[in-house]
Structure 1
Amino acid sequence: MPLRQLIRLSVAELAVPSPSVLAEAERVENSIAEHHRLAARVSAFGAIEQRQAEGASKRGGFRAAAWNAERLKFHAASVAMLTEVDADVIFLTEADLGMARSGNRHTTAELAEALGMGYAYGVEFLELGLGDAREEAECAGRTNAVGFHGNALLSRMKLADPFLVRLDDGAIWFLGAEKGQRRLGWRMAIGGRIETSGGPVLVVSVHLESKTDPADRAAQVKRLLGHLETLSAGMPVVIGGDFNTKPLFCEDTGWFDDPSALEPLFSLMGEAGFEWRTANRPEITTRTRPDGDPKPPHKRLDWLFVRGLAAAHPATVAAVDAEGKAISDHDLVVADFGR
């Protein structure tokens, strides 16, 4: 059966996966067929959890921020940082739902409530363990209440017509399980339409694969752009997220104006009418955690792209708490958008 790339079903709450799926995953071989068979039994892969904000359409321009929150473990510090940023739309990646490593919380729902925002949340992976090697050690003896890891859109404005696009064919974290962190799932983007006083705008949160190469990331972007041509219906579009553009190091920012030689996805974005130079600064966006990882050289992984609107005041915001300790291995990128 062909992979269903586009998901449009929204629900009030995602269904918890059956324990039998987790138990069976322990026994089966690492194959694409087994991955797809087990994933088909997880209904949450085919739905988007949505809760609306109370806000009306935004007058004038709006501020958007993209942040890979690395599990979103630090609720209070995350709320404090994002309150200061004061974004109207947040492109959120790597947010846990019912993972022991983040306190078995629904991190996106709690964050949205604290910020007075609505959200659309989609599952990228069902974690079959407690996380990476570091998290397995830290959480030894504990159990995931749900096991979801995903991406979200948070918005102060009402979010209409949410959608989810699967960006790859899945199974990469299942087939490579001998290296740790076994997962069911696919990389994905989640989007929807917001209403501004200047008209509707399509907003999309993206997370590209980390265990791959520039050509494959370009293929994921090509798939996304193919769907956006229909979904945008002539609307302006703002895209943000973690594009895992690993060749873009901090030692030299000469790549900023034209990084396509290192990451061909920029050629695809440019050909599709998207601009990044006015929406970003040529700065790194990764940082070292208190445990010493990830180590330098740091990279520019996180981006904002815009088509049909003007971008201004781009900034990179340190993802640290009040004591200066990292709350994610990614900093946040932010810019203002308007006519």
Structure 2
Amino acid sequence: MTRVLDKLPSVTPDMQARIRDAPRNAVTHRALMAEVPAMSALQSGGQGSLETLASSVSVVAWNVERCLFPEDTARHIQPLAPQVVLLSEVDHGMARTSQRHTTEAMATALDMAYVFGVEFHELDLGGATEQAFCTDDFNLFGWHGNAILSTVPFERVTLIRLDDHGHWFSSDEVPADPEQPRLGGRMAIAAVLPTETGPICVVSTHLESNADAAHRHAQFDRLLHAIDAFAPDMPVLIGGDLNTGNHLPPDYDWQRETLFDLARSHGYDWSATPDGITTRPSLITPHPDREMKLDWFCTRGMRSTENLLVSSIDENGRPLSDHDAVWCRVAVG
């Protein structure tokens, strides 16, 4: 069972030093993960404005690329009146986002409850474009992860780890990026929410970018089985950045991913996802290598009635993220 805390325990300076000096392999990574309590817990806070969702639910999924501007990001999606927001790449205690708890700030701005989980403990300040936003030369907590915002209370939540071998840590064994040293791995958060027709399960996830289709297939398979164990026979909506097409040269085509048919074989449907490319140049990623379709919804036991691709360009012409948001309305029951 996942522990749900008001505050995630920070990594001590001694532990930081051990992580930095540790051998870069999977065995060491697993041992270190077990010694960092925040890696197996979730943080909850905030308060929603409703007790129960109607049978029609408005949902946004958005990779907010660190969430440089939490209040502006919240304001940008407010016209959609979301009752559930599935976030990825949110910072908590990072110098590049002014050491803020960006999930908490968005939840406050939207009058929503939240649950936040750690994908990575970042050991550095980030790349050159990120360092331009740093307000300090250290990270207060170094947390980076996923979140769910909700207008109703969470009935149950769980953290689902999608790998544990240290894909961004174990550079002695896998092609980890030396410029982004970090402890952790891809993960998902699942939550059960009350609706007038019964409980539903919503899931925020982020699959691996630095890997091929087989790797993401394995992650998604692990996710689907974990959802079945957590919320059996319950309507489910999964949303997030699935990194579809990454590391699939020469065309980087999302249609070559096998996870779509995998989900269909488990009774899921992808029609809640709007058409169109979901990436764009941003303040942190000003010159992306290519345009891609990375962001998706898939549902089981729900029917999509509307969907929309929402540009991340705000009213001042500023990109809030290198991903556009995806929105859908689903009917439950």
Whether TM exceeds 0.5 here: the answer is: yes
Alignment partner of 1:299: what SS?
A: coil
- Conserved 8 A contact 1:119-1:154: yes
* Structure 1, unpaired ranges of 5+: 1-6
Distance 1:141 1:53, change over 3 A: closer
Deviation at 1:179, TM superposition (A): 2.7
Letter in 1 for 2:21: R
Deviation at 1:227, TM superposition (A): 1.2
Cα deviation per residue 1:158-206 (whole Å; 9 max; x = unaligned)? 1111001101123111123563110000210001111111111100001
1:158 aligns to what? 153
Q: Which moved more, 1:134-143 or 1:162-171?
A: 134-143
2:101 aligns to what? 106
Letter in 2 for 1:119: Y
Letter in 2 for 1:207: H
Letter in 1 for 2:8: L
Alignment partner of 2:35: what SS?
A: coil
Q: Identity, % of aligned pairs? A: 37
Deviation at 1:113, TM superposition (A): 0.9
Of residues 161, 164, 169, the one that matches 1:174 is: 169
Residue 273 (structure 2) pairs with residue 280 (structure 1):
yes
- Conserved 8 A contact 2:210-2:246: no
Instruction: Tell me the distance in 2 between the aligned counterparts of 1:69 and 1:127.
Output: 17
- Conserved 8 A contact 2:98-2:134: no
Q: Which moved more, 1:317-326 or 1:236-245?
A: 317-326
Residue 328 (structure 2) pairs with residue 335 (structure 1):
yes
Deviation at 1:248, TM superposition (A): 11
**Number of positions where the alignment pairs a residue of Structure 1 with one of Structure 2:** 324
1:41 aligns to what? 35
Cα deviation per residue 1:283-308 (whole Å; 9 max; x = unaligned)? 01001114663425311100011110
Deviation at 1:229, TM superposition (A): 1.5
1:3 aligns to what? none
Distance 1:225 1:113, change over 3 A: same
2:235 aligns to what? 236
Write out the 4+ residue segments of structure 1 that deviate beyond 4 Å after TM superposition.
none
1:135 aligns to what? 130
- Conserved 8 A contact 2:212-2:246: no
1:20 aligns to what? 14
RMSD value, Cα = 2.1
- Conserved 8 A contact 2:73-2:320: yes
2:144 aligns to what? 149
2:295 aligns to what? 302
1:69 aligns to what? 64
Instruction: Tell me the distance in 1 between the aligned counterparts of 2:247 and 2:123.
Output: 32
Deviation at 1:63, TM superposition (A): 0.6
Cα deviation per residue 1:5-38 (whole Å; 9 max; x = unaligned)? xx52111111111111112222222122222222
1:50 aligns to what? 44
Instruction: Tell me the distance in 1 between the aligned counterparts of 2:182 and 2:120.
Output: 6
